[in-house]
């Protein structure tokens, strides 16, 4: 049963990767889209394409989730226009660097903490009061297996995703007694721009992350997000962890064919 027809979904970081795949998957289920990303041109093009293809409403907004005033202004605008979302997908996130802790770059750390933690906080804090007011709504946080297991050279990225896990848990606890649901979808190795961003544009190194293995795609993760969003209102998926069949743990990845 499709419960997503006519639902309004706000997706952050929707210009590429898992966010873009989520936009495509929700649109194909008849949901209206509020797409945001720092890169307005990419997200505007996607909104136009999906609106035309699926007959849904789709708008694009240039938004840096680390800018708390910009987040507040965007949500105020949505409220004024009666466009508040039924579903918020906190997708904007990134890894920057893969270094031993004592060699890590402070700028990388700030970037990850600002986006993965503070950005998620700003968006959720701005939207949730309206969901609580309506006693309906769903926040879906894109976490990671990096929030379950720490791996070498990942400490700060791991810490931000452990934070997403804790915030997902904390929101759920504090929303007990309401009908507002909070879920995390926690993927393992997924081939997107993720590694290119992590390695500051080093495409060769990025490619090596996925060599000789079959990673998840953005579509695989979007399928899981849509499943979580489409469950009946009395069901709250707290965490959904998915990994490639070739991966069974952050540090156990099979390479080299069958």
Q: Which is nearer to ligand 8X3, 119 or 188 (CB)?
A: 188
Q: Which is nearer to ligand 8X3, 23 or 145 (CB)?
A: 145
C-alpha 82, offset from chain centre: 24
Our answer to whether residue 157 is catalytic in this structure is yes
Chain residues binding ligand 8X3 by CB under 6 A are 144-146, 188-189, 250
From the CB of 24, what's the least distance to ligand 8X3, in Å?
20
Q: Which is nearer to ligand 8X3, 128 or 189 (CB)?
A: 189
From the CB of 74, what's the least distance to ligand 8X3, in Å?
26
Q: Which of 161, 114, 120, 152 is nearest to 106 (CA)?
A: 114
From the CB of 187, what's the least distance to ligand 8X3, in Å?
6
Give the active site residue among 74, 122, 157, 210: 157
Greatest CA separation for the chain? 55
- Locus of tokens 């986006």: 115
From the CB of 150, what's the least distance to ligand 8X3, in Å?
10
What residues act catalytically? Answer: 157
């Amino acid at each position: 049963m499709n419960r997503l027809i006519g639902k309004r979904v706000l997706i952050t970081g929707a210009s590429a990767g898992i966010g873009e795949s989520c936009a495509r998957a929700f649109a194909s289920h008849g949901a209206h889209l509020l797409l945001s990303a720092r890169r307005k041109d990419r997200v505007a093009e996607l909104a136009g394409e999906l609106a035309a293809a699926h007959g849904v409403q789709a708008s694009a907004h240039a938004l840096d989730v680390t800018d708390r005033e910009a987040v507040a202004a965007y949500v105020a605008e949505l409220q004024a226009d009666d466009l508040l979302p039924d579903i918020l997908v906190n997708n904007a996130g990134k890894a920057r660097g893969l270094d031993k802790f004592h060699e890590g770059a402070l700028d990388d750390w700030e970037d990850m903490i600002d986006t993965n933690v503070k950005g998620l906080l700003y968006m959720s804090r701005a939207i949730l009061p309206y969901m609580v007011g309506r006693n309906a709504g769903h926040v879906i946080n894109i976490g990671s297996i990096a929030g379950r297991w720490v791996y070498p050279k990942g400490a700060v990225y791991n810490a931000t995703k452990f934070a997403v896990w804790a915030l997902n848990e904390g929101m759920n606890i504090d929303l007990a007694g309401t009908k507002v649901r909070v879920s995390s979808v926690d993927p393992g190795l997924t081939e997107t721009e993720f590694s290119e961003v992590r390695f500051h544009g080093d495409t060769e190194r990025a490619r090596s992350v996925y060599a000789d293995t079959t990673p998840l795609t953005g579509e695989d993760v979007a399928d899981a997000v849509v499943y979580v969003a489409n469950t009946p209102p009395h069901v709250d998926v707290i965490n959904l962890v998915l990994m490639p069949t070739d991966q069974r743990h952050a540090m156990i990845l099979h390479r080299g064919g069958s």
